[in-house]
Amino acid sequence: MVKIASPAANLDLRAPIFTTLSKGIGVDWVQRIILVLVDYILLSLAWHTTQTLCTPLDFPWKLNNLLLPIPIAHIGIMVARGLYNSNEEYCKYVSSIEALTLSHLLLLSIVFSYQSHHFIPWSTFFWAWLLSVLFSLAGRLCANFTTNKLRQQGTICNPIFIIGFPTDIEKATQLLVQENHYRIIGYLPIYALEKYGVDKIVDEITSSGAVEVFVCSWHKIEQRMFLYWRLRNHGITLNILPLSLEEIVEEKMGAFLSLKSGIPFFKLSPPLIAGLDFRIKRCFDFCLAVLIILVLSPLYLAIALLIKLDSPGSIFYQQTRVGLHGKHFNVWKFRTMVNNADKLQKELENFNEMNDGILFKIKNDPRLTKVGRVLRRYSLDELPQVFNVICGEMSLVGPRPLPLRDIEQLSETQLIRHEVLPGITGLWQTSGRSEITNFKDVLLLDIFYIENWSLWLDLQILLKTIVTVAQKTGAY
């Protein structure tokens, strides 16, 4: 384990100090496994009973074997329908009936195709379906009754923390107690986050043994993005609990609400192994960057030769950019402009097409060389930044690192984009690039990326980047 004094000061916002299993995952999976075993035993019993009392079916497999493929197929359909996803799903008796009906129809179609020339005892299928439904529902009723009894004794209740204003905490406590699913082990006033800092508060929550945190007045927390990622990296589930319709509308949560006993909330569960996804991202970045250099090395050499033949000056262009936590580093690019391009920029400031002036972008930039225009059009000038990725200064996907000139014009709240590693490409590049003329829109895309980051989102952006570059969308 690597010991780091202050995670916020050294690591990407999404980076854990160490990987850990999601809290409460043990109890959750034990319940799922028990329910699957109960379903398997009861469904096997239903088919054995049917085969004994009715006309046996001629299957391509042996039904007298204990490991029946039929109950496994039934359970597979139930898994696909999400009937084992959470502690509440097994109460959905109608969904269970639908899943069993579908699996029996699929089984019937298999039998019909296997022995369509023989007599098929339809009554056997009917009784098999009926007994499977009755046995399964009986098992779920018993599981539901047993679970409720255990929860009343506090045996399998999730220990939780509540964060909010005093009045909100009181309301949330009354609502959550009715759930009979949670054990409240601590309260935290919302102002404590600003007073003591997110890291200290999350450490306190973690040491208490809480597996979930309910937050009221989420929009009132200034460092909510930090709170979310700190909890996520510790494997703790974050539940946003709006206590009024106004909060639901303000947070735009309508499409993501879960309802439990009339309580609407937005559940943000960490992955099974918290922090592993970010480590995979860094490993993926490094391996893909090395592969790009090896495969495209002839292209690198060809571009270098063309730049040298086209105009005097160096092949590469280095510019100081601001990266993770405001640290300066040199970003590498193929040179696309004349040697004194930086000095000429001051004379061209009046032609800047970015409305707020934070970024500098103009079409038909007179400083571009002939080869430089082609490189810019296909974004080939960015290829040397793959070396920045190998050095750990950048990622393949992330907010673009900005020059010092642009950083000086940012407000303190806009510096949130520096809490993650900058990237070669990102949502800005795949959403129009230079066609977006307000930095506010760029910032919104960056924040959306940080808040919704996942390995799948990175992959989508990389694939879309290829299409965007091929179409030359917004490039100049």
* CATH label of the domain that carries residue 270: 3.40.50
Question: Is 255 in the same domain as 302?
Answer: no
Q: With beta carbons less than 8 A apart as the criterion, state whether 63 and 51 touch.
A: yes
Query: Is the full-model pTM beyond 0.85?
Result: no
Domain that includes residue 234, residue range: 157-274
20 located within any domain = no
Q: What is the pLDDT of residue 217?
A: 85
Question: Is 182 in the same domain as 143?
Answer: no
Question: Is 239 in the same domain as 309?
Answer: no
394 located within any domain = yes
Question: Is 444 in the same domain as 304?
Answer: yes
Domain end residue (candidates: 228, 248, 274): 274
Question: Is 228 in the same domain as 254?
Answer: yes
173 located within any domain = yes
Question: Is 371 in the same domain as 259?
Answer: no
Question: Is 267 in the same domain as 167?
Answer: yes
> In sequence order, which residues have a C-beta less than 8 Å from that of residue 420 and are 6 or more positions away?
12, 13, 14, 324, 395, 398, 399, 450, 453
Domain end residue (candidates: 124, 152, 180): 152
7 located within any domain = no
DSSP assignment letter at 18: S
Q: With beta carbons less than 8 A apart as the criterion, state whether 264 and 257 touch.
A: yes
Question: Is 340 in the same domain as 458?
Answer: yes
Domain end residue (candidates: 258, 274, 290): 274
Question: Is 242 in the same domain as 365?
Answer: no
> In sequence order, which residues have a C-beta less than 8 Å from that of residue 295 and are 6 or more positions away?
none
pLDDT in tens, 289-342: 999 999 999 999 999 999 999 888 889 988 899 999 889 999 999 998 887 766
Question: Is 290 in the same domain as 439?
Answer: yes
88 located within any domain = yes
9 located within any domain = no
The total domain count for the chain is: 3
The parts of the chain modelled with pLDDT lower than 70 are: 1-10, 56-68, 86-91, 114-120, 243-264, 341-344, 346-361, 432-437, 472-476
Q: Among 295, 476, 296, which Cα is nearest to 375's?
A: 476
Q: What is the pLDDT of residue 273?
A: 83
pLDDT in tens, 219-268: 888 888 899 999 999 999 999 888 665 555 455 444 444 545 556 678 88
476 located within any domain = no
Question: Is 58 in the same domain as 186?
Answer: no
332 located within any domain = yes
Q: How far is CA 197 from CA 191, 210, 429, 436, in A?
A: 10, 18, 34, 35
CA angle in degrees (0–180, nearest 5) for 94-95-98: 90
Question: Is 269 in the same domain as 386?
Answer: no
